[in-house]
Structure 1
Amino acid sequence: MSKIRVAVVGCGSISKHRHIPEYAGNPNVELVAFCDVIMERAEHYAGQYGAKAYTDYNEMLKAEKPDAVSVCTPNVLHAPVAIAAVNAGAHVLVEKPMATTEAEGLAMIEAARKNGVYLMVGHNQRLMPPHVKAKQLLESGKMGKVLTFRTSFGHPGPEGWSIDGRDSWFFRKEEAIMGAMGDLGVHKSDLIRWLLDDEVVDVAAFVNTLHKEGTDVDDNATCVLRMKSGTIGTLVASWTYYKGGDNSTVLWCENGVMKIGTDPDDQVIVELRDGSVEKYKVGAMATNEKQTTSGVIDEFVQCLVTKTPPRISGEEGLKSLNVILAAFESQDTKKVISLS
């Protein structure tokens, strides 16, 4: 079988740490083009992988006609680049948040459908071993119904992660549109929907800029979510966990409690009401400090090789995005926002 010809648009940190090395490590892939507004960044990877470098994605799409494109740009460009790529006949893997508005997300889904190509969103939390294990345990029925939950994702902020440090697009509202919620919160809205096999119906939230200076993107959010099943819980996203990151979820269920990512050694801990405790060592979650394979690239390539529509589809990405958009609306209106 001929290799899948992949182009990467946006050569910042997510490309550097996840997309590019994971494509390079996949035997089914040939990296053919890199595009970035800073030519040197594109040239750096083009030189490394014997590919072409571009600063204009439209030009790149026309010249290279890639089979697949990873969109790793600032948030505001996710929709335009993804739509251009699917219109050029390429399958697309877009970083999260998939878009900055519901209308953009719908336009992306429609464009992919019209062109007969796949659109996948980089929600890697579904693929992390602790979360996969937790879902298996929930599906086994041993926990009974999930009654309440809290899920949190925080780190010290993008200045330590982004290739541009404090000058990163992450802090520029016109490019980022949203801050910690787009970076981290949307990962957790996606996780909780998938983990509980449930949809969010009501959102109340405080979304603020508490500590990052010189920016008006949100650096903290605390949201209360009500699920279709009646389960209620909190979702927290933060860029001010200066003492170290947190990517943990606790589920209080009829038959006990499940703790995911709360312990460095036992990634999933189940404490049942009968007093028994089960601990599972299933492999750590990827963090900014400690990169483990995200699994997203292999999942995307597998979809293309087997011609199987992605599980983490545009439709799924949009449902997770809509939770975050509702949180901003709740902050603005001081009301509980219902999702249809």
Structure 2
Amino acid sequence: MKKLRIGVIGCGSIAQHRHLPEYQINPNVELAAVCDINQERALEVAEKYGVLSYTDYNELIKSGEVDAVSVCTPNYLHAPITIAALDAGLHVLCEKPMATSKEEAEAMNAAAEKSGKVLMIGHNQRFVPSHQKARQLIQSGEIGRIYSFRTAFGHGGPEGWSVDGKESWFFEKEKAFVGAMGDLGVHKTDLLRYVLGEEIVEVGSFVETNAKEFADVDDNAVCVLKTESGIIGTLAASWAYVSKEDNSTIIYGEKAILRLEDDPINSLVVQYSNGEVVKYELGKIQSNDAGGQNNSHVIEHFVNAILLEQEPAVPGEEGMKSLEVILAALKSNETKQIVQVR
């Protein structure tokens, strides 16, 4: 089988920690090129992987050297680069949040449909074993009706792991569009939609900047969410957790409580109403902590979708639905009202 030639656009932390190493270990992939507006960084990464180096994404897209690209740039560039790549007949794996507006997301999905190429969004929480097991338990009826949930994603902030530290684009509204809610909250809206198997229909939120005085995006957000069947719960996204990262979710059902990534050893703990407790040791969630697993499985799903001509695990439509919850949260904070997710 001919290997898939890949280009990675944007050579920051997510590319260096996830995309590039995961492409490199994939037997069906040939890493062909990288691109970054920072020429020094582009050259350094290109040299490390023995690939071509570009500073203009249009040149890479039109080079004929690649079949597919990963878009690992600041958020405001996700849509223009993705659309340009799809229009040029390339498959695209785009980092989350997929876009900065619903209109951008719709344009990306339209470009994917028109080109017939794969567009996948990098929502890796769907591939975490504890999350997949929880979804199965809920779908099988084992947990009974779901009443409530609480989910959190927090760490000390991007300055701890971004290649640019405090100077990172993550803190600039013009480039990031949204802070902790876009970096972490969108992962959790995607996770909830996946695990519960339902859409979120109403959102109320408080979205603040109170921990990073140098940032002009949010660093702490708490949302109340309601699903179509009436499940209610909370989502917290924060860049102000100065000690251990939190990436936990608890789901309260009729017959049991599910604790996901809440225990350091057992990634899923099921506490049944009759007092029985079942513990699953399914391997650690991927994280920026050294203890997390390093393979996010996003790359292999993207590559397989292309080679097997299948629907990607997280298509653009799914990325858009998860983004819409974040957009509703921002609107709720602005208007001080409960917002319907369109």
> What is the alpha-carbon distance in structure 1 between the residues aligned to residue 262 and residue 55 of structure 2?
42
DSSP 3-state at the match of 1:217: coil
What letter matches 2:323 in structure 1? L
Question: Which consecutive unaligned segments of at least 5 residues does structure 2 have?
Answer: none
Q: How does 1:161-310 map to 2 (within 5 A)?
A: 161-290=161-290, 291-310=293-312
Which deviations, in whole Å up to 9, do the C-alpha atoms of 1:18-74 show, x marking residues without a partner? Answer: 000000000100111100011121112222232110000001111235211000000
Cα offset, 1:223, TM superposition: 0.3
Alignment-derived partner of residue 143 in structure 2:
143
DSSP 3-state at the match of 2:120: strand
The answer to whether the 8 A contact 2:32-2:65 is kept is no
The answer to whether the 8 A contact 2:75-2:100 is kept is yes
Which deviations, in whole Å up to 9, do the C-alpha atoms of 1:182-204 show, x marking residues without a partner? Answer: 00000000000010000001000
1:315 aligns with 2:317: yes
**What CA RMSD, in Å, does the superposition of the two structures yield over aligned residues?**
0.9
Alignment-derived partner of residue 13 in structure 1:
13
> What is the alpha-carbon distance in structure 2 between the residues aligned to residue 251 and residue 11 of structure 1?
37
> What is the alpha-carbon distance in structure 1 between the residues aligned to residue 49 and residue 199 of structure 2?
42
> What is the alpha-carbon distance in structure 2 between the residues aligned to residue 334 and residue 69 of structure 1?
40
Question: Which consecutive unaligned segments of at least 5 residues does structure 1 have?
Answer: none
The more displaced of 124-133 and 287-296 is: 287-296
> What is the alpha-carbon distance in structure 2 between the residues aligned to residue 155 and residue 45 of structure 1?
27
The answer to whether the 8 A contact 2:302-2:313 is kept is no
Alignment-derived partner of residue 4 in structure 1:
4
Cα offset, 1:292, TM superposition: 1.8
> What is the alpha-carbon distance in structure 1 between the residues aligned to residue 49 and residue 283 of structure 2?
30
Moved over 6 A (4+): none
> What is the alpha-carbon distance in structure 2 between the residues aligned to residue 87 and residue 44 of structure 1?
29
Q: Match for 1:333 among 309, 331, 335?
A: 335
What letter matches 2:15 in structure 1? S
Q: What number of residue pairs does the alignment pair up?
A: 340
> What is the alpha-carbon distance in structure 1 between the residues aligned to residue 270 and residue 301 of structure 2?
28
The answer to whether the 8 A contact 2:33-2:60 is kept is yes
DSSP 3-state at the match of 2:284: coil
> What is the alpha-carbon distance in structure 2 between the residues aligned to residue 230 and residue 132 of structure 1?
22
> What is the alpha-carbon distance in structure 2 between the residues aligned to residue 258 and residue 2 of structure 1?
43
> What is the alpha-carbon distance in structure 2 between the residues aligned to residue 136 and residue 279 of structure 1?
15
> What is the TM-score when the length of structure 1 is the normalising length?
0.99
> What is the alpha-carbon distance in structure 2 between the residues aligned to residue 137 and residue 292 of structure 1?
26
